[in-house]
Structure 1
Amino acid sequence: MTMRTACLTIFAMLAFAANSLLCRLALKDGHIDAASFTALRIGSGALVLALIIRARGARPLAAGNWRSAWALFVYAAGFSTAYLGLSAATGALVLFGAVQATMIGYGLYAGERMTARQAAGVAIAAAGLAALLLPGLAAPSLPHALLMAAAGIAWGVYSLRAKGAGDPANATAGNFLRAAPMALALGLAWLPWSRIEGAGIVYALASGALASGLGYVIWYQALRGLNATTAASVQLCVPVLATLGGVLLLSEPLSWRLLYSAVAILGGLALVILGKARPRQG
């Protein structure tokens, strides 16, 4: 890995973790409602991506499709709403687990077969997630956790569809532009109950324009210098970064329950990612 690729990768991982922190920061003190946050995030991300694609001499809507745009919208709306009741750490952990579970599940459906090590990894990760969500004083809000899981499934679907979409930056720009009217409609529908403060607007725009728009473009640049296993592995640090940011910047508690669950979930997923899947025999 070159120094340029390493720097791009680090920036992209920080941007992905920042999405959780910015959303939680905006919502936890009521600076903005979830629907307005979603609209501003998708809208500003679409604008930045469109400008980048225009600067490259391409048409922003030339790539992407409506199905992927719907998956993107469901992810963004579920993500924002779930963070009304989850800490940055818990939300990032549930989201990441659901994304990986969706992609692993699709691989099995498509004919991949797990090694014993991968199967053990799935079992460990599942046990960690179950331990996190089991009822108790330290358990997160189950409805919000399920909503974040749904957002993760939607993002997993979006990621799977993006694999065959040609230039990923162009496809992402087209999908954001198609998702923007959906997010705007959600924001307008929620307008009678909306709450929008200056700080909330700043957090939402930073999430959309910087952490999402620029973050995705930088990640796609980094991917050119990473193999598939490394690309999947480095994403394991995103929930860790979100957890550290939540503790240091948002004064969120770090419980033993969350810590043990995080080790089990991320460790189990690492076993799956680093294992070698075998193609299914006729």
Structure 2
Amino acid sequence: MSSTLWLTAVAMVAFAGNSLLARLAMASGGIDAAGFTGVRLAAGAAVLGLILVLSRRDQGYGNTRRPAGSWTSAAALFVYAIAFSLAYGRVGAAVGALVLFAAVQATMIAWGLVRGERPSLREGVGLLVAFAAFVWWLVPGLTRPDPIGTALMIVSGAAWGVYSLRARGAGDPTRVTAGNFIRTLPVALPLIVLSLVRGGISGEGLIVALLSGGVTSGLGYILWYRALEGLTALSAAIVQLSVPVIAALGAVLFLGESLSLRFAIAGALVIGGIAFALMAKRRRIPA
């Protein structure tokens, strides 16, 4: 269980870092949504493919270490990535985060309930506290959301929920993640070409997208796959509430944004609610 918690924590930090990079890229205008999505997916495929090649070489020629994954998961990954990029061109960070993670949770919790996963009272209370604090934190920044941007973010969140659900028990995380990223190349590469033709990629934008794809996406998703082996759908949904809080803290530390008392209180309640819910789950597991 301790390894699951550590893997989950690092994966959440990677996801938050990915959000910061995406926000930085879109705000600077150094890359458009098509280019960011294409470079992000292609970089992830390249880094993960290289890891498989090096792993095969280290373990001997007889070890195949071929990419795994599935076309269904790859499709969910692509839909999440392109909808995410397009949505952040139309909605603010606060509205986008709220809609995205609400959609992720709704998708994963609904599937868990369908599969017979029933939250305990403590899990339910922890989830309620975390989500309520999350909404309370975002409410002051909410304005009338762009309907198209909101719809795109809902699609992105639902697709990420599906991708995460399919990751549970899918096999070797590195092979599966590499295979899913590689399968997106037939649509990712044309997006890069389209963006280059339109002059939508600058040097700075390219670097940010490469970091997002190769590090916080590709490597982060491997850790998430491994963490999912020890999480229920409900637990996986709950812990992802921490990502916007971590991302906001990162914005304070690295982007120079101010830290409000409201954020400090809400962030503490979100993390506390998550810990309460996950500890409840841990108590139900026999020693």
CA distance in 2, matches of 1:112, 1:11: 25
Structure 1, 116-125 or 150-159: larger mean CA deviation: 116-125
Q: What stretches of structure 1 of length at least 5 have no aligned partner?
A: 278-282
Q: How many angstroms does 1:18 deviate by?
A: 1.1
Q: Which residue of 2 aligns with 1:46?
A: 45
Q: How many angstroms does 1:54 deviate by?
A: 2.0
The amino acid of 1:149's aligned partner reads I
- TM score, norm. by length of structure 2: 0.76
Q: How many angstroms does 1:15 deviate by?
A: 2.3
CA distance in 1, matches of 2:10, 2:122: 31
1:218-229 equivalences under 5 Å are 218=223, 223=227, 227-228=230-231
Are 1:203 and 2:208 counterparts? Answer: yes
The amino acid of 1:176's aligned partner reads F
Q: 1:193 to 1:274 in 2, by over 3 A?
A: farther
Instruction: Look up the SS of the partner of 1:142 in the other structure.
Output: coil
Q: Which residue of 2 aligns with 1:118?
A: 123
Q: Is the 8 A contact 1:20 1:92 kept in 2?
A: no
RMSD: 3.7
CA distance in 2, matches of 1:154, 1:105: 14
CA distance in 1, matches of 2:209, 2:32: 10
Cα deviations by residue, 1:130-185 (Å, 9 ceiling, x for unpaired): 65676x7x215623454333312211100111113111211111000011222233
Instruction: Look up the SS of the partner of 1:112 in the other structure.
Output: coil
CA distance in 2, matches of 1:108, 1:10: 24
Q: How many angstroms does 1:73 deviate by?
A: 0.4
Q: How many angstroms does 1:101 deviate by?
A: 2.9
Q: Which residue of 2 aligns with 1:139?
A: 142
Instruction: Look up the SS of the partner of 1:56 in the other structure.
Output: helix
Q: 1:19 to 1:184 in 2, by over 3 A?
A: same
CA distance in 2, matches of 1:141, 1:257: 21
Taking every aligned residue pair, what percent have the same amino acid on both sides?
50
Q: 1:98 to 1:258 in 2, by over 3 A?
A: farther
CA distance in 1, matches of 2:5, 2:280: 23
The number of aligned residues is 270
Q: How many angstroms does 1:31 deviate by?
A: 0.9
CA distance in 2, matches of 1:206, 1:236: 23
CA distance in 2, matches of 1:140, 1:90: 8
The amino acid of 2:107's aligned partner reads T
CA distance in 1, matches of 2:134, 2:104: 13
Q: Is the 8 A contact 1:90 1:258 kept in 2?
A: no
1:248-263 equivalences under 5 Å are 248-252=253-257
CA distance in 2, matches of 1:124, 1:6: 20
Instruction: Look up the SS of the partner of 1:77 in the other structure.
Output: helix
Q: How many angstroms does 1:46 deviate by?
A: 0.3
Q: What stretches of structure 2 of length at least 5 have no aligned partner?
A: 57-63, 283-287
Cα deviations by residue, 1:182-226 (Å, 9 ceiling, x for unpaired): 2233444566655211100000001111112233335556x49x9
Q: How many angstroms does 1:105 deviate by?
A: 1.2
Q: 1:261 to 1:6 in 2, by over 3 A?
A: closer
- TM score, norm. by length of structure 1: 0.77
Q: Which residue of 2 aligns with 1:156?
A: 161
Q: Which residue of 1 aligns with 2:31?
A: 32
Q: Is the 8 A contact 2:131 2:241 kept in 1?
A: no
Structure 1, 47-56 or 120-129: larger mean CA deviation: 120-129
CA distance in 2, matches of 1:139, 1:264: 20
Q: 1:28 to 1:60 in 2, by over 3 A?
A: farther
Q: Is the 8 A contact 2:242 2:270 kept in 1?
A: no
CA distance in 2, matches of 1:149, 1:54: 36
Are 1:83 and 2:88 counterparts? Answer: yes
CA distance in 2, matches of 1:105, 1:147: 20
Q: 1:185 aligns with which of 176, 183, 190?
A: 190
Q: 1:218 to 1:118 in 2, by over 3 A?
A: closer
Q: Is the 8 A contact 1:36 1:194 kept in 2?
A: no
